[in-house]
Amino acid sequence: MPQIVTNSQPIWAHSPPRLIRHSDSTSDRLREAVRLIVLDIERRLNPVTRLRNQLEALLDVDDANGYRFRPTGYAYQNAQAYLEGLGNLVEPLYFGSPSLTSDGEGGIDIEWEGNGRQVTLSCRAGNNQQDFLYRQEGDSYEARDLTPDTLQETLIWLGHYDRRPRT
């Protein structure tokens, strides 16, 4: 865990003698403030958390002009599960920065782009539809069934990371 330092020493190194109860309280509050700041930084840096927040934001989108922009519960839950799964499948900092977009039918697209390639994980609106992986480079494209293996292989193809999965 990173330490926030002042004059090359951790700020808690400057705590006054423990006999002074009032200052103990001040020091505790300072420690708590630092802990919260570090947690906040970690949260902001964690792509899974950022994507979870983006996903929640989709629930606030209004439908319009005959399009269903707000995701169905089915699509939302699947997208959430995939994002959590991604965090376990690969190191979070290495799975790039996908964007989340409504498909206009109550589904959600999780999209990656890079190196002239694009990958879309389509989370469909209902259980009568099949979620799938789509990848494209130039005029070459294919859709694949979604499994942990195909997802990992596709992200490797995309070039966002080259590490093996966690064991």
The residues facing 100 across adjacent strands are 110
Residue 120 near another protein by CB under 8 A: yes
Nearer Cβ to another protein, position 83 or 133?
Answer: 133
- Is there a contact between 125 and 75 (Cβ–Cβ < 8 Å)? yes
Q: In the complex, what is the shortest distance from the CB of residue 139 to another protein, in angstroms, rounded to a whole number? A: 8
Residue 72 near another protein by CB under 8 A: no
**Measured between alpha carbons, how far is 47 from 50 in angstroms, rounded to an integer?**
5
Nearer Cβ to another protein, position 90 or 102?
Answer: 102
Contacting residue, 141, 145, 148, 157, with another protein by CB under 8 A: 141
Q: In the complex, what is the shortest distance from the CB of residue 32 to another protein, in angstroms, rounded to a whole number? A: 37
Contacting residue, 16, 23, 56, 67, with another protein by CB under 8 A: 67
Contacting residue, 122, 123, 146, 158, with another protein by CB under 8 A: 122
Contacting residue, 27, 46, 118, 150, with another protein by CB under 8 A: 118
Closest of 139, 135, 86 to residue 112, by C-alpha: 135
**Measured between alpha carbons, how far is 126 from 74 in angstroms, rounded to an integer?**
6
In terms of phi and psi (left: phi > 0; alpha: psi -120 to 50; beta: otherwise), the region of 66 is left
- Please count the residues of this chain forming the interface with another protein, following the rule CB under 8 A: 23
Residue 66 near another protein by CB under 8 A: yes
Q: In the complex, what is the shortest distance from the CB of residue 123 to another protein, in angstroms, rounded to a whole number? A: 12
Binding residues for another protein, per CB under 8 A? 61-62, 64-67, 69, 101-105, 109, 118, 120, 122, 129, 132, 134, 136, 141-143
